[in-house]
Amino acid sequence: MLDPTSVATFIRDTARDVILPRFRALQPGETSEKAPGDMVTIADIEAERQLSKSLAAAMPEAAVLGEESVAANPALLDLLGGDKPVWVIDPIDGTNNFVRGDARFAVIVALIERASPVAGFLYDPLNDRMVWALKGQGAWSGGKRLAIDAAGGKKLIGAGYGRTADGARVGKEIEAAGMGLRNFGSGGLEYLALALGELDFSLHSRSLPWDHAAGMLIAAEAGGVARFLDGTRYDARLRDRKVLAAASETAWRRIRDLVAAPTEVSAP
């Protein structure tokens, strides 16, 4: 049986041992680009390695898939389509921020079974804020079960990336509609803020599992709504669909209607 306390400890230990000592202390040669504008650091690589060992030891029957290991071997993504449970790790979500010395980064861990997240963990190392969820058992932080405040009538504030159906920048359309935009450059922190009631929505143009599997589960277990933008259930095997999590059904539909093409709109 999965022990969320142990997984949270693995994550905190990894951040303490590997990530935080290198924040604003990276040396020449400790950063590189996987693709233009997509940074990776020695902290990403070592954190993924340490977390992978800890998770594999705790659940030997599960495979482990990390963002950096997939960058080296994309065929590992096929694991998500199998019957074996799979840990999915983003060792530093917001690496570009980390490299710049920007404090907005997170650690993300999810457990996937049959393409569906069944456990998710989001950790803000600098502020020691952890949010986690188990499927059907709620979302939790600091020993308290979370319940997103879905009160209507307030100005919606959230994160939005990508383009609308007609090619406009999502953020521009969100602001033009009278909503607030707060893009952190770290989806993990944005989902964490949503679960804690600090944001009302998080919209992303791609659905890479290490970025979104944990957050989509946590948003739903905290009482929010989390689906692909076309209204279908989140599936960790699908990497290039728009994903939207929101504090309520009303907020979800309002954002969806603002940015989606008619072909992307279907009944949930």
Q: What are the pLDDT digits (tens) for 89-111? A: 999 999 999 999 999 999 999 99
Interval 225-249: pLDDT, tens: 999 999 999 999 999 999 999 999 9
DSSP 167-190: S-BHHHHHHHTT-EE---S-HHHH
| Residue 240 DSSP class | S
Q: For the chain, which residues make up each domain, given as ranges?
A: 4-145, 157-262
Query: Alpha-carbon distance 195 to 214, whole Å?
Result: 11
Name the pLDDT band for 152 (thresholds 50, 70, 90).
low
Per-residue pLDDT tens for 52-98? Answer: 999 999 999 999 999 999 999 999 999 999 999 999 999 999 999 99
Residue pair 19/126 in contact (Cβ under 8 Å)? The answer is no
- Can you give the pLDDT at residue 154? 79
Q: Of the CATH numbers 3.40.190.80, 2.60.40.420, 3.40.50.720, 1.10.760.10, which one belongs to the domain with range 157-262?
A: 3.40.190.80
How does residue 193 score in pLDDT terms, banded at 50, 70 and 90? very high
Q: Measured between alpha carbons, how far is 163 from 169 in angstroms, rounded to an integer? A: 5
The CATH code of domain 4-145 reads 3.30.540.10
Average per-residue pLDDT for the chain: 94
Reported pTM: 0.95
